[in-house]
């Protein structure tokens, strides 16, 4: 499970990324480097930015198969010493037991406090590695190398880290910003179509939150985002810039950062009710359906026009994302079951729920006074429609 490579003389110069997005957080500031082929040059990039440090690369078996050799070769070429820790793919690795084994691997490799962990993989690897980095030796630095669309536009940026417990997802963790994000967009070519689409839900989310112009751009350019042209890098950079702006003003989600949760309250409840079974629903699909539900609920509250709802749904349908509860296979419980999942996921303040609602395309807002009964009645109606469909 673990190997240590010898240190050799430094090699090639660091590659120039197609895009660089700074995240401005005073002492915790960092860059997001975006473009194809960055893993092959990662050793040079790390040697330049973190000279004389050692690294532990944390990844899973699937990502290792595709990308670990390229990263290992580049670290060796750059003369960097490193260990590797490989875990099982999937949400199950965000657990106390895998956390413990990764901590043990990092300590066994004798990394010092100034050394760095490298998260090579999707959201699970990033969240797990960031949490380990946040607590081992009372805080080590780490580098995110996201290899999924979802992690390149969302989870690798902003410092949310953590693991799951039997009480729910991400309930144990810390805010701990990475020291660098290297998003190699060529890794997305190895993603299966369903995972890419699911990540795209988070891309569309940035347009729906507060950027109708970006949503319109996606309606025109989504095919090139999917096929891997320059529009892909542009879309990822735009999402990262949007996220960097929000994180800069609200790093620990005391206020506006909650906007990034558009679609997630319903989406997390759907993931919970389907027992995080990826055969039935993956996170981005839950977010896609959740964003449609947030718009439908906003229409019902006379906040959003039915035309805007129709337009956002049409785009998600066009790219192949699910938008209706009837598209989730199997039993998804009753309105009360879904409400129980919502109440576990979100804080209830004085008997009222916080939701991200919208006044139209790109006009989302935080509504912190939503009566749970209104949400329950809405869900009951949606479930009736699901049965009729
Ligand atoms: N994924 C939402 C956030 O980072 O705040």
Q: Where are the domains of the chain?
A: 4-190, 193-388
SS3 104: helix
Residue in 149, 253, 354 to alter for ligand 1 test, most ligand atoms within 8 A of Cβ: 253
CATH class of this structure's domain 4-190: alpha beta
Selection from 286, 285, 288 nearest residue 312 by Cα: 288
CA dihedral (43, 191, 130, 210) positive or negative: positive
Regions of the chain short of the pLDDT cut 70: 1-11, 345-348
Distance, CA of 44 to CA of 12 (rounded, Å): 6
Name the pairing type of β-strands 352-358 and 348-349.
Answer: antiparallel
Q: Is the CB of 263 under 6 A from ligand 1?
A: no
Residue 113: active-site member: no
CA dihedral sign, ordered 246, 56, 133, 282: positive
46 lines ligand 1 (CB under 6 A): no
Q: Is the CB of 176 under 6 A from ligand 1?
A: no
Q: Which of 67, 91, 141, 261 is catalytic?
A: 261
260 CB near ligand 1 (under 6 Å): yes
User: In angstroms, rounded to a whole number, what is the distance separating the alpha carbons of residues 1 and 13?
Assistant: 30
Q: How far is the CA of 155 from the centre of ligand 1 (A)?
A: 6
pLDDT at position 346 is 57
Distance in angstroms (rounded) separating the CA atoms of residues 47 and 77: 10
CA 350 to chain centre: 30
Give yes or no for a contact between 299 and 332, defined as CB atoms under 8 angstroms apart: no
Phi and psi angles of residue 142, each rounded to the nearest 5 degrees, phi first: -145, 155
Cα 109 to averaged position of ligand 1 atoms, centre (Å)? 31
Cα(269)–Cα(342) distance, rounded to whole angstroms? Answer: 5
Residue 15 · residue 47 · CB < 8 Å: no
* Ligand 1 lined by 308 (C-beta under 6 Å): no
Concerning whether 253 is annotated as a catalytic residue, the answer is yes
Quote the pTM value.
Answer: 0.93
Please identify, by atom number, the ligand 1 atom nearest to the C-alpha of residue 246: 5
Q: Among this protein's residues, is 213 annotated catalytic?
A: no
CATH superfamily, domain at 193-388: Dehydroquinate synthase-like - alpha domain (1.20.1090.10)
- b/e per residue 342-361 (b: at least 16 CB within 10 A): beebbeeeeeebbbbbbebb
Distance CA 54, CA 46 (A): 10
> What is the rounded distance in angstroms from the CA atom of residue 117 to the CA atom of residue 112?
11
| Strand, coil or helix: 368 | strand
pLDDT at 50: 98
> Residue 297: helix, strand or coil by DSSP?
helix
Q: What is the pLDDT of residues 176-188, one digit of tens each?
A: 999 999 999 999 9
Tell me the chain's radius of gyration from C-alpha atoms.
Answer: 21
Q: What are the phi and psi torsion angles at 343 (to 5°)? A: -70, -30
Residue tagged 């959003």 (tokens): 304
What the block records as the tokens of 330 is: 């199997």
Could you give the C-alpha distances from 154 to 283, 318, 379, 382, in angstroms and in order? Answer: 12, 22, 27, 28
Residue 300 near residue 333, CB atoms below 8 Å? no
């Amino acid at each position: 499970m673990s190997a240590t490579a010898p240190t050799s003389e430094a090699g090639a110069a660091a590659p120039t990324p197609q895009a660089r997005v700074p995240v401005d957080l005073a002492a915790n500031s960092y860059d997001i480097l975006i473009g194809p082929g960055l893993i092959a040059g990662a050793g040079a990039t790390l040697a330049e930015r973190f000279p004389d440090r050692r690294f532990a690369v944390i990844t899973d078996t699937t990502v290792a198969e595709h990308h670990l050799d390229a990263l290992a070769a580049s670290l060796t070429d750059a003369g960097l010493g490193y260990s590797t820790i490989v875990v099982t793919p999937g949400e199950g690795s965000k657990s106390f037991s895998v956390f413990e084994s990764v901590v043990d691997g990092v300590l066994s490799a004798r990394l010092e406090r100034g050394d760095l962990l490298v998260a090579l993989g999707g959201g699970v690897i990033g969240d797990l590695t960031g949490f380990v980095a946040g607590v081992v030796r009372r805080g080590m630095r780490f580098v995110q190398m996201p290899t999924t669309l979802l992690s390149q536009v969302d989870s690798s940026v902003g410092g949310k880290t953590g693991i799951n417990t039997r009480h729910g997802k991400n309930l144990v963790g810390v805010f701990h910003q990475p020291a660098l994000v290297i998003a190699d967009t060529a890794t997305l070519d190895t993603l299966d179509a369903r995972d890419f689409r699911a990540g795209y839900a988070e891309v569309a989310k940035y347009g729906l939150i507060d950027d109708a112009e970006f949503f319109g751009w996606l309606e025109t350019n989504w095919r090139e985002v999917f096929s891997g042209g320059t529009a892909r890098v542009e879309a990822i950079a735009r999402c990262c810039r949007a996220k960097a702006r929000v994180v800069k003003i609200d790093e620990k989600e005391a206020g506006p950062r909650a906007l990034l949760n558009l679609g997630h309250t319903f989406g997390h409840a759907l993931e919970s009710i389907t027992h995080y079974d990826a055969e039935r629903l993956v996170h981005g699909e839950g977010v896609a359906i959740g964003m449609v539900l947030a718009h439908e609920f906003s229409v019902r509250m006379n906040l959003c026009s039915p035309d805007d709802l129709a337009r956002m749904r049409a785009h998600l349908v066009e790219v192949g994302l699910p938008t209706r509860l009837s598209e989730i296979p199997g039993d998804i419980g009753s309105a009360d079951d879904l409400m129980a999942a919502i109440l576990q996921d979100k804080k209830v303040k004085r008997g009222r729920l916080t939701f991200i609602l919208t006044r139209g395309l790109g006009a989302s807002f935080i509504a912190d006074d939503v009566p749970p009964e209104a949400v329950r009645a809405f869900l009951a109606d949606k479930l009736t429609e699901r049965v009729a469909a």
